[in-house]
A and B are shown apart, each in its own frame.
Chain A
Amino acid sequence: MQLSGNYQTSDAIQGSLIDLHRGDRAILDGIDLPGEEARRLMELGFLPGTQITAGRSAPGGDPQVFQVDGSEIALRRETARRLKVRREKVAKPVQTPGA
């Protein structure tokens, strides 16, 4: 995982997508998956630097829906674990209209 100097690493909490609770937002840092799989995820909007919001999940918490680049994509935990993210501040719940 490489962070460029533009980011304030001191405030950032690093982890993976499975650390996010519903409504938490984070910035995608990198995808720890082989090229082809990472590419497929990137085509769906999971690009490094993109903001991801954790959404609802199936009963039991797996798979979980993530809001990314204007759409909602469900990932299994085994995949979500490989998506490394960074949160700028302490996560606060996001206002989801109607929810």
Chain B
Amino acid sequence: MSGCSDCQTCAAATVPFPGPQTAPRTVAVIGPPNSGKTTLFNRLTGLRQKVANFPGVTVEQHTGVATLPDGRQVQLIDLPGVYSLSPRSEDEQVAFDVLTGRREDTARPEAVLLVLDSTNLSRNLMLAAPILALGMPTLVILNMADDLSRRGGRVDLKKLSAELGAPVALIAARQGMGIEQVFDFLAGAMPKPEPKQLPVLQDVPKCRAWAGQVGEQAAYLPPIPPKWTRRLDSVFLHPLWGALIFLVVVVGIFQTIFGIAAPSQVAVDRLMHGFGNWIAIVLPASLFRSLIIDGVLGGVGSVIAFLPQILLLFLFIGILEDSGYLARAALIADRTMAKVGLQGKSFIPLLSAHACAVPAILATRTIENKRDRIATILVAPFMTCSARLPFYILIVAAFIPKKQLLGPFLSEGAAAMLGLYALGFAMAVFTARVLKSSILKSSRTPFLLEMPSYRWPTFQSLGLRLLDRAKIFLHRAGTIILLVTVIMWAMVNVPYTNGHPPKIEDSMAGVAGRTIEPIIKPLGFNWKIGIGLITAVAARETMISTLGTIYGMDPESNKHGLEAALHNDLTPGGAVALLVFFAFAMQCISTIAVVRRETGGWKWPAAQFAYMTAVAYIGAFAAAHIIH
């Protein structure tokens, strides 16, 4: 690395480096999309990462701690991938604000790690101009050195460093090759950059010409085009095979999530149940035991049960994204999605929403266009998620005769289930159209999608991502679900008299159910269903356990089971109304929480909740009056 010869003198003049007990240095990692910035960040920080949103915006903030060989610690901020620093998109605004110290919540970094893709250096160097112009100590990292040399490209690091006036390191972050140079920089004196010259930053052609010149001075020889990427694209983007492979991938993901997630969900449920039984033996019967088993375990259990399928989904998305196929899938899906006013990148989130809206909403992060992203977030909960399934199955079994519709292929029950899927999908499409032609009318940014080269996903990157998601999911959604279930538990047990919980209709929950009865009567629901609907606001599956508890307390209905009890208590019109209500209503506190987090405020989740509840009420009202 050049520039280091001067460092000796600078180092002698600088104040001694503070020890590890004081606040660590903060260094920002920045680079264009697909430059391997996050791979390097993961290499440097490992498991010591924190993920949060930048407050007020939907941009994700990754921070982590890198420990230098001498034991000192450096705090790293992984900034969003940007092509330039002119603050136009939200991502660029955040990057710009953090680097210039304009964000009050984030300390201004002392230095910058600029990560560039060495296989396309001339264009990537354009970002070096605005970064070097900031005057902060910068290490220019040329990533993907392995690809560069394998495909016959090369660059003179000494000359490049002289042109940029900053140290340059050639590394391969995926293999960990050359990482020690990054540590050396972080541990060193960090000189300010002294580039030979910089272009006018606002002038893109001048910036590009400057980047080309710098590359030329550094004897940059671009590598030949990636042979395997071209070969794979001739299959994946083939007019016929490409479409078929796309369908196989989509159906495969859908099938696996349903096929594998359901048993694993049962397993988690059993585990929680077993744990509950064990507590029932250990703890004496008391209000406290009831709180632990019915409140805490019930609440936490209902959340953890979704973890396997969420991790599975993120594993698939991770593989698709890291391998480079996701960009191709978005390309193939774009035209179909455009008909609804959305775009190709909305496709995977909407597919995932059939498993669970929470990971789907997290998956919208791949959509850079903010309006498209919010529209996708708003329609995702209409997709039939797996939490609706148990209740659909219960009601369909109770009300739809077990008759065959199409010989052995399709029973009336299965047809009804398919109809419910179609209903949710149709409402999502309708809502997307309305949103995209009104308040979320596309901002005028054209649809641009860079096709990265295909690469093998690494276990490290996939593993870290799953860990991230598991942590976020359990922490954020878990705390809220837990709180609501404990409140619900309390409402069923208040007023507690003579050491006994009250009769269900006299409990706070019962009173609440009877209070809302006039509102839900037009839909054909009684107060018991009302309690179920109140608890289902927390999570849809709680509807079944609540109804089970309520009907279980009545010896008459208890004898015949929940199915028969519901059959007696609901008119067919009421049953259909209830299904329609479930298809449309936003009964999921985790989704509300994640929408608030992802959109950075209460505005969108509140509007979404109001809209979905209104649609559910009107839909159910119509259903109850059409069907008798």
Contact = CB atoms under 8 A, between A and B. Distances in A.
Given A37-B445, A47-B208, A60-B335, A70 B123 contact: yes
A36 B92 CA distance: 14
Interface string B303-326: 000000000000000000000000
A98 interface: yes
Contacts of A48: 205
A79 B449 CA distance: 12
Contacts of A76: 334, 338, 446-447
A43 B205 contact: no
A88 interface: no
B449 A74 contact: yes
Query: Chain B contact residues: over half helix, strand or loop, or mixed?
Result: helix
A54 to B, nearest CB: 13
Interface string A65-99: 10101111111101100000000000000001111
Contacts of B240: 59
Interface in B176-226: 204-205, 208, 222, 224-225
B231 A63 contact: no
Contacts of A13: none
A57 interface: yes
Contacts of B119: 70
A58 B449 CA distance: 12
A45 B445 CA distance: 16
Bin chain A's interface residue count.
Answer: 35 or more
A21 to B, nearest CB: 13
A59 B450 contact: no
A79 B451 CA distance: 17
Contact of B83 (A44, A56, A70): A44
A41 B243 CA distance: 28
A72 B451 contact: yes
Given A58-B335, A59-B239, A65 B451 contact: yes
A73 B204 contact: no
A97 B237 contact: no
A62 interface: yes
Contacts of B126: 43
A59 B328 CA distance: 11
Contacts of A40: 83, 88, 445-446, 448
Contacts of B447: 63, 74-76, 79
Interface in B210-254: 222, 224-225, 227-228, 230-231, 233-234, 237, 239-240, 242-243
B560 interface: no
A43 B89 CA distance: 13
A76 B336 CA distance: 12
Contacts of B208: 42, 45, 47, 69
A34 interface: yes
B84 interface: yes
A99 B243 contact: no
A59 B230 contact: no
Interface in B417-431: none
A97 B230 contact: yes
A34 B205 contact: no
A62 B336 CA distance: 10
A43 B338 CA distance: 25
B205 A44 contact: no
A34 B444 contact: yes
Nearest to A45: B123
Contact of A57 (B225, B237, B445, B450): B237
Contact of B234 (A36, A56, A75): A56
A44 B334 contact: no
A75 B446 contact: yes
B122 interface: yes
B448 A73 contact: yes
Contacts of B231: 98-99
B491 interface: no
Interface-centre pick from B208, B327, B444 (highest chain A CB count, 10 A): B208
B332 interface: yes
Nearest to A38: B204
A45 B430 CA distance: 37
Contacts of B239: 59
B292 interface: no
Contacts of A44: 83, 448, 450
Given A48-B205, A62-B335, A97 B225 contact: yes
Nearest to B237: A56
Contacts of A45: 123, 208
Contact of A99 (B222, B234, B327): B234
B450 A72 contact: yes
A69 B448 contact: no
Nearest to B236: A56
Contacts of B61: none
Interface-centre pick from B126, B205, B331 (highest chain A CB count, 10 A): B331
Contacts of A58: 237, 242, 331-332, 334-335
B2 interface: no
Interface in A15-68: 33-34, 36-37, 39-45, 47-48, 55-60, 62-63, 65, 67
14 contacts: A36-B444, A40-B448, A42-B205, A44-B450, A47-B208, A59-B243, A63-B344, A63-B449, A65-B331, A69-B120, A73-B448, A76-B334, A76-B338, A99-B233
Given A39-B204, A63-B331, 5 more contacts: A36-B445, A40-B83, A58-B242, A75-B446, A96-B225
